[in-house]
Chains A and B, each alone.
Chain A
Amino acid sequence: MVQSSQAVPAVAKRKRSYFARKPLQSFLALAIGVMLVLFIVIPILFVLVRSFGGADGFTLDYYRNFFARPYYYRALINSLTLATTVTSILVVFCFMYAYIVARLPRGIIATAMRSIAMLPLLAPPFIFSISLITLGGRRGLISQVLANLFGIEFSIYGWTGVILAQCIGLFPLGFMMLENVLRSMDLNLEEASADMGAGQWRTLWSVTIPLMMPGIMKAALLVFIKSIADFATPMVIGRGLPFLATDAYLLVVGQHNMEMAAVLATFLIMPTMLIFFVQNYVLKDKARTTIGGQAGGTARIKMNPLMKGLFILCSFISALFIVSAFGVVFWSAFVVIPGVNNTFTLAHFSTRTGVQALVTSLKIATSAAFFIAFVAMIQAYLNLRLKVPGSKIKEYLALFGMGVPGTVIGIGFILTFNQQPFKLTGTMFIIVMAIMCQYLGVSLEAGISKLHQIGPSMEEASWDMGASKAMTFFRVVLPLMGSSFLYGLIFTFMSAMTTISAVIFLVYPGTTLAAVYILQVAEQGAIARAAAMSVVLITIVALSLFILNRFTARTHLSRL
């Protein structure tokens, strides 16, 4: 009786609307749907429409203008060149780094190497340009050494600096993806290849890399999108080179030329659209799973010395760059003028505006983290278990939002919410929504994959014993999803603390955010103050990460 009560009424009551049958989940689904449309679809549409003239009628003038002015289309070419270069470098280096970490026996070295690779996540990505300026700027340490000893005039500003800074900032992204793929590889395949006489280079080339290709592509695409979307690094260290994201920002903030900004934003969003299409339609069919039996093999084949040497060398260079970039930030924060007057000082830390910005950041990051993690879990549940109509579209929307460059979201938000009926600019709410737009996808994915793992039998048991859907969600599902909820919480918090690209458009006078403040200070050339503020930000993010880790380790949540 209990089992059949689910199926029979569903047929009998088919004529009643879905909403009438399941009011609670319909309401939730609708609310999330409206939110996603309002804050992801509409802003992006507004950008597209504006680039064609907006309310003044359809025109291609702005695009004509874009291609007529070398400065603008140079921006497009530069952005593509930059993203391609950074992606190529990172895929190669992250692969070697991930290979070493994944194949190293578990232990202190592997843990240390992984932590180093993840370090850049703790800070807004552009702060590495601050370290690079300290080292290689006009009066930078390395520049002075080169000038004094060899008479070479060296400057990090321009292409070198932008590429290097992005490589450091985006390293964790590429590394995480590739390490994950490497760890899920069936080692037996590599062993089989070796067993049939293939040397390690051959095995790498004809077995490991082809099998990882979908993962490598995904990592490359993510890095590419993030590189194109990054407007802050070129602003600090690009020395006036035109880039799409940077110029879109400057057009909005400096000239209020919304139409041209919309054109640039449209070009910014194109790679995302393309990539989204490729991922969901082209790569999907090529996803290969291991066949036959369980994934096996835990043996560690000795790497051949040449390969091992090369991989370790490259990993070491990567780690060195990351660690020194961090070290220099800390160093510049605590001395009067790095390299010139190395006296310890705390003077750079005394800034009232900075502290206010930090408090605002904390408030926003905390509320965004809880809000987004909750919405993601509910959406994952509606999507996977209750099969509420339209869920798949919402999942796509959230994932799409994740890929849209923050600059585009920022411009879209200004275009959409700066006027009636949605006059929302100048509120904390709109900043939280911008963060939701960019990061909901990550938590949602975590929730969905966790639900896939758990399997529906426990919920069925709960229903079977008479609990309602809502009760089941709160008493059974949410505790089981604890780990992915926490993951979403931590990830969103960290991202919200360090994000800059969308929120910079939305901060209002007197309520700036920490990351925005750091960028503004750095742009004015107050490198030491920017470094000091970065140190505080890094410390807070690292500390919250540590506390949450501790918390999860102590409670039962870690076992889930």
Chain B
Amino acid sequence: MHAEPILKVENVVKKFGEVTALDGVSINVNRGEIVCFLGPSGCGKTTLLRVIGGFYEQEAGDVTLDGALINGIPPEKRDTVMFFQNYALFPHMTVYENVTYGLRVRRVPREAMKKQAGEILALIQLDGMEDRFPNQLSGGQQQRVALARALILNPKLLLLDEPLSNLDAKLRSYMREEIIKIRENLNLTIIFVTHDQEEAMSIADKIAVMRCGLIEQIGRPVDIYRYPESTYVANFVGSANFLKATVTGSDQSGSVEIDTHMGSLKMTAPRKEYSTGAKVVAVIRPESIGVSFEDSSNSSKSLKGEILRGSYLGSQMIYTIRVREETITVNLSDPGEEQIKKAGDTVYLTLPEYIHLIDAAKAGEFFD
């Protein structure tokens, strides 16, 4: 449906001695997209980024950038620019020298260089700081210099290695806006790596969740969050209640009935067809469960439970609740005083209409 993807990674394998860091990874990135590699440390996300940037050479597989195969081409000859986690600003050069480094390497005439640098420094609001050295800048300014240094080369692909991890909360949200703004202004294709799901959700068009050198799932943030294909993914992008279940029936209208330790549950519109007897895990996000403290018994879906623990966090109340043989977590947002209950109190829960199911095969830890 789209034009040829700007980046194609096919079956890339990268080993460090005995350790396999990438185990045959494939991914396509379309022009103008922001794609995020998300995963815990050691999952291979940075390795994949560095393979794309040319800092590591893969043992097998192909990397194609804008239609050209770039296997084995060193970073200096690749049209990709990396933004390093520690910025890697040259401490012995001024802001101007840092930013224009790539242009000087390319022997751009002085005047043109000045003009370009002026534009990019204005874009990231660092004009007037040209003659400072990096250690005279604040962390946020250093980061923007690093960004300017990368952007001035107008790369086909901008690679960001944990771009927000060194920043405090305020700078983080500022930088997030900055990245999104830059993408809109320059129509760049951006790949970034992070272990922070919120960061990934807020910036990325597409998220690739990685695990043990493989991409576990790739999709829009909403796909990853609402329709995780494995318990690993569901767990990584937020907290979830996992209910071990067996499918007991389905009908033509598309609703499915499952049997759990909380009893029999019925829900609508599953994303797949399930045959009776199939082992599944139901994923229910804690914030999707309705809580009430009076028995509004007209709802047949209402479940009675007992509070085991409650933690008040200000913006939300987190309850651990026992429903029959199951213990589940429920988040109640913006709790009022009357909603703060103590252990032993009775609550009534309403489950969401749609409940996501994961095949037993993708939920290893629950069925072993």
- Measured CB to CB, the residues of A under 8 A from B are 186, 188-189, 191-199, 202, 206-207, 210-211, 213, 288-297, 299, 301-302
Contacts and interface: CB of A to CB of B under 8 A. Distances in A.
B44 interface: no
A211 B91 contact: yes
A196 B101 contact: yes
27 contacts: A186-B86, A188-B84, A191-B88, A192-B88, A193-B90, A195-B53, A195-B54, A195-B76, A195-B81, A196-B76, A196-B101, A197-B77, A197-B102, A197-B106, A197-B153, A198-B105, A202-B105, A207-B90, A211-B92, A288-B91, A290-B91, A291-B142, A292-B134, A296-B85, A299-B50, A302-B57, A302-B74
Contacts of A293: 85-87, 166
Nearest first, the 9 closest Cβ-Cβ pairs linking A and B are A293-B86, A196-B102, A188-B88, A192-B88, A292-B87, A288-B91, A194-B76, A198-B105, A195-B75
B118 interface: no
B55 interface: yes
Interface of B: 50, 53-57, 74-78, 80-82, 84-92, 101-102, 105-106, 134-135, 139, 142-143, 149-150, 153, 166
Contacts of B142: 291-292
A213 B86 CA distance: 22
B55 A191 contact: yes
B106 A192 contact: no
B76 A198 contact: yes
A431 B214 CA distance: 67
B339 to A, nearest CB: 43
A197 to B, nearest CB: 5
Given A194-B76, A195-B81, A292 B105 contact: no
Q: In terms of DSSP, what is the predominant structure of the interface of chain A?
A: loop
A301 B74 CA distance: 8
A356 B347 CA distance: 94
A403 B142 CA distance: 39
Contacts of B86: 186, 188, 290, 292-296
A546 to B, nearest CB: 29
A302 B149 CA distance: 24
Nearest to A299: B55
Contacts of B50: 299
A219 to B, nearest CB: 18
B46 to A, nearest CB: 10
Nearest to B162: A293
Contacts of A292: 86-87, 89, 134, 139, 142-143, 166
A213 B78 CA distance: 30
Nearest to A188: B88
A338 to B, nearest CB: 46
A497 B54 CA distance: 50
A294 B85 CA distance: 9
A548 to B, nearest CB: 31
Contacts of A290: 86, 91
Contacts of A297: 84, 88
User: Which of A186, A195, A299 neighbours the largest number of chain B CB atoms within 10 Å of its CB?
Assistant: A195
A291 B89 contact: yes
Contacts of A294: 86
Contacts of B149: 192, 196
Contacts of A207: 90
Contact of B88 (A189, A199, A289, A302): A189
A182 to B, nearest CB: 16
A194 B149 CA distance: 13
